[in-house]
Chain A
Amino acid sequence: MGTSTFMKLEIESLSENESFARVVVAAFAARLDPTLEEISDIKTAVSEAVTNAIIHAYEDRVGLISVRAYIDGNVLTVEVEDWGVGIEDVEKARQPLYTSKPELERSGMGFTIMENFMDKLTVRSAPGQGTLVTMVKEIRSKSRVKEY
């Protein structure tokens, strides 16, 4: 008997899919027995990445967003990929408070939140080609903590 270690979800870049994407990833991560706080962290980070793909990558058009998650031991890896406008300067984009869309009441905190709520964040992007956001989080689950 094996345990599933991979999932993939493809969605259109519509705002109603934000809650769908974060709930699916959280349900997948549930097999690692995360705490409520860890579930909340994962949901928030996924929501940030998917929302960025909807708002920034595709702007006014509808494109595809791929959400993938992997489990290796007690480590969860989440990838959110789009094939939208891409990011010219990733280092600048990742800085707290940087936003290219202040007029939309964005505050430039998305990447900072992903960094804080997950253990590791990698952003690969090319202008005109798209963006791949990879987030890694070790789950220090309730039951495992008790075992030691």
Chain B
Amino acid sequence: MKIEMEQHRAVLLVRLTGELDHHHAEQMREQVDREIARHPSRAVLFNLRGLTFMDSSGVGALLGRYRKIDAAGGRVAVCEVPDAISRITEISGLARIIPFFNREADALRYLLLGVPSKRRL
């Protein structure tokens, strides 16, 4: 599992590559939470293009990050879900909770326009 994080204006962009199962979800949780702890109410975008596998542990880890960021007043979105994992995102209900976008640019636009306005004050 590869976890790449980069800052795109007010958005933390997290690119996941490999298999997001119970074994790797732990690692993702730790790294992303450490980064979020520095900027509690920022927006986070998970780009899943590189994922070849995901099970309920991955769903739980993404939902967990969503709940945490949402509770702190931040926003979360998911983009570029590959075919191999689109069914699990539907059946698990993940796609009905977190906003999904096909294109990264659209997700970024949604997050940047939606960032709480107090950030600009």
Which residues of A does B touch, CB under 8 Å?
Answer: 15-16, 18-19, 22, 36-37, 40-41, 43-44, 47-48, 51, 54-55, 104-107, 109-110, 112-113, 116-117
Contact = CB atoms under 8 A, between A and B. Distances in A.
A106 B53 contact: no
Nearest to A14: B23
Given A19-B21, A105-B63, A43 B53 contact: yes
Given A48-B56, A105-B64, A107-B63, A16 B91 contact: no
Given A105-B29, A110-B56, 17 more contacts: A15-B22, A18-B21, A19-B53, A40-B87, A43-B53, A47-B21, A47-B22, A47-B53, A51-B22, A51-B56, A55-B22, A105-B61, A106-B56, A107-B56, A107-B60, A109-B91, A117-B87
B84 interface: yes
Contacts of A104: 60
Interface in B91-121: 91-93
Contacts of B29: 105
Interface of B: 19, 21-23, 26, 29, 53, 55-57, 59-61, 63-64, 84, 87-88, 91-93
Nearest to A43: B53
A47 to B, nearest CB: 4
Contacts of A18: 21-23
Nearest to B29: A105
Contacts of A113: 55-56, 88, 91-92
Nearest to B63: A107
B88 A44 contact: yes
A107 B21 contact: no
A113 B26 CA distance: 21
A98 to B, nearest CB: 12
Given A105-B29, A113-B88, A113-B91, A19 B23 contact: yes
